[in-house]
């Protein structure tokens, strides 16, 4: 019987399914595996009642979807946002399966969250909501079953509340049930810089493959937050010239090279932690979109999704794009880049330092033994290099773009696991 292709009215899920079906067809995946991998293993819906500060009771909808546990415990974030729904969680959980598979770490994919605007809640309401949610999904999460992490509007405090709730329910400390915890609560040194370190490693690997000395490379980094700043810093340390940076306040271009350390020091001192007012000899201030269109060898978008699109892809003056942000290139933009011969290192390879870093936190939690930052970084870089090589080699061998190659490599690992393991439970 032919595969019953699923569709969805949810754009994210529909796109995830179509991408999967087309990749599965290209790699000749058996119908049975296509049927299995196009569905989540488990989707949990819970109601989350909270007694509000004014004495009323509100009930929020919470979700946790485990797309696959073939390669290990489900792994993926929890987001608190009014738009969270089951289909979105399903789509994002499947993307986590492929991301973890590509990263070569022993995890499957999961995602979850609560449909809520957390900024409408008081700190007490927010804590009670998080703890009740944790208690209701408690039978399904754990260090060897499903390990949530921060995502949109969640962070260290939420992870600590979840860890504490699960620990109290089980009568023992459960630090490995979530990652993204503060260092004082079983978090890990090195995690803050991990994603940026991974992105910069991909840039340097790309330069190596192209025979370009980092000293001859000019780079523009969009976004000067966690990912963008560390990416720019590590590239500068490797000898690259960072000719452009940007943040919410616009673009900062300097053909002589920006002093990333001085720019960061400025941000640290600014009350809103932004680049506004930053200056140095030769610096030109420009519009945030214009910076993307300046001359450089490598453009690394590390801020928002959809910033490279049908409007600007034809105007970019870079040769290579290394995606630090999630989904910075729209499919329409991707097509134009392809026609123009601009090589793209895709997000789920380039920014996987984040989830590899989470894996390191979990490993340390399970062992109860913590690494130095140097140990953490010295383990991250070789994994990133190895993953880059696998995707690069596959793309060369099969004459496909790196984005396609990354997806095919990722699906293959899970499919191989399923063939070996079978479908029992």
Which positions are catalytic? Answer: 111
CB-nearer residue toward ligand NAD: 302 or 342 = 302
For residue 341, count CB atoms less than 10 angstroms from its CB and return exposed for 0-12, middle for 13-18, buried for 19 or more.
exposed
Residue 54 Cβ, how far from ligand NAD at the closest point, in Å? 32
| Shortest distance (Å) from residue 284 CB to ligand NAD | 16
94 is in an annotated binding site: no
Closest CA relative to residue 40, chosen from 11, 12, 13, 79:
13
**Closer Cβ to ligand NAD, 72 or 196, answer by number:** 196
The residue among 34 and 267 lying less far from ligand NAD, judged by its C-beta, is 267
Q: Which residue has the tokens 């390879």?
A: 349
Q: Give min distance, CB of 247 to ligand NAD, in A.
A: 3
Any binding-site annotation on 358? yes
* Half-sphere exposure of residue 132: CA atoms within 13 angstroms, side-chain side: 18
Shortest gap between Cβ of 336 and ligand NAD (angstroms)?
Answer: 20
CB burial readout 27-49, b (16+ within 10 A) else e: eebeeebbebbbebbbbbebebe
The site for ligand NAD (CB under 6 A) is made up of 195, 222-228, 246-248, 288, 302-304, 324-326, 351, 354
Which pair of structure tokens corresponds to residue 256?
A: 């002589």
Q: Are strands 284-286 and 298-301 parallel, antiparallel or unpaired?
A: unpaired
Helix axes 156-170, 123-137, angle to 10 degrees: 50
Residue burial 250-273, b: 16+ Cβ < 10 Å; e: rest: bbbbbeebbbbeebbebbeeeeee
Check whether 99 is labelled as a binding-site residue. yes
- Closest to ligand NAD by CB, 24 vs 93, is 93
Residue (230 or 392) nearer to ligand NAD, CB: 230
Specify the residue, 222 or 236, whose C-beta has the smaller distance to ligand NAD: 222
Pairing of β 74-80 and β 146-150: parallel
Q: What is the DSSP letter of 152?
A: T
Q: Report in angstroms how near the CB of residue 77 gets to ligand NAD at its nearest.
A: 9
Query: Where does residue 104 fall: left (phi above 0), alpha (psi -120 to 50 degrees), or beta otherwise?
Result: left
Q: What are phi and psi of 380, to 5 degrees?
A: -70, -45
What is the torsion angle, in degrees rounded to the nearest 10, for the CA atoms of residue 290, residue 294, residue 298 and residue 301? Answer: 0
Q: Is 231 annotated as a binding residue?
A: no
- Compute the distance between CA of residue 234 and CA of residue 322 in angstroms, rounded to an integer: 14
Write down the least CB distance from residue 355 to ligand NAD, Å: 7
- CA 207 → CA 171, 241, 244, 394, 396, distances in Å? 51, 13, 18, 18, 16
Q: Specify binding-site residues.
A: 75, 99, 195, 226, 358
Q: Specify binding-site residues for substrate.
A: 75, 99, 358
């Amino acid at each position: 019987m032919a595969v019953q292709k699923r569709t969805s009215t949810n754009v994210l899920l529909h796109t995830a399914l179509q991408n999967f079906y087309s990749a599965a067809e290209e790699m000749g995946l058996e119908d049975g595996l296509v049927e299995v991998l196009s569905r989540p293993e488990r989707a949990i819906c819970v109601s989350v009642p909270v007694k509000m500060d004014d004495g009323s009771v509100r009930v929020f909808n919470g979700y946790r979807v485990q797309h696959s546990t073939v390669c290990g415990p489900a792994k993926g974030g929890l987001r608190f946002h009014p738009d969270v729904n089951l289909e979105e969680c399903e789509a994002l959980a499947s993307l986590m399966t492929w991301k973890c598979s590509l990263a070569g770490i022993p995890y499957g994919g999961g995602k979850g969250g609560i449909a809520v605007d957390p900024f409408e809640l008081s700190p007490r309401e927010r804590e009670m909501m998080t703890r009740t949610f944790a208690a209701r999904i408690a039978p399904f999460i754990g260090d060897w079953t499903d390990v949530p992490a921060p995502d949109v509007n969640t962070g260290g405090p939420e992870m600590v509340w979840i860890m504490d709730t699960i620990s109290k329910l089980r009568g023992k400390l459960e630090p490995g049930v979530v990652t993204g915890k503060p260092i004082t609560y079983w978090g890990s040194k090195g995690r803050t810089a991990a994603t940026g370190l991974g992105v910069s490693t991909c840039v340097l690997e790309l330069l190596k493959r192209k025979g370009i000395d980092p000293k001859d490379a000019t780079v523009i980094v969009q976004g000067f937050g966690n990912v963008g700043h560390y990416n720019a810093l590590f590239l500068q340390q490797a000898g690259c010239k960072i000719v452009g940076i940007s943040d919410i306040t616009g673009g900062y271009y300097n053909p002589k090279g920006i002093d990333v350390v001085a720019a960061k020091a400025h941000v640290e001192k600014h009350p809103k932690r932004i680049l506004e007012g930053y200056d140095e000899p030769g610096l030109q201030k420009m519009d945030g979109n214009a910076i993307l269109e300046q001359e450089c060898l490598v453009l690394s978008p590390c801020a928002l999704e959809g910033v490279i699109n049908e409007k600007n892809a034809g105007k970019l003056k870079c040769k290579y794009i290394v995606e630090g942000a999630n989904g910075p290139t729209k499919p329409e933009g991707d097509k134009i880049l392809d026609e123009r011969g601009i090589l793209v290192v895709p997000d789920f390879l380039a920014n996987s330092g984040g989830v590899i870093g989470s894996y390191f936190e979990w490993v340390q939690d399970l062992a109860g033994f913590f690494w130095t930052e140097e140990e953490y970084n010295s383990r991250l870089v070789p994994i990133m290099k190895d993953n880059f090589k696998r995707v690069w080699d596959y793309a060369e061998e099969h004459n496909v773009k790196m984005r396609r190659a990354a997806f095919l490599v990722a699906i293959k690992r899970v499919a191989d696991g399923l063939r070996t393991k079978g479908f029992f439970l």
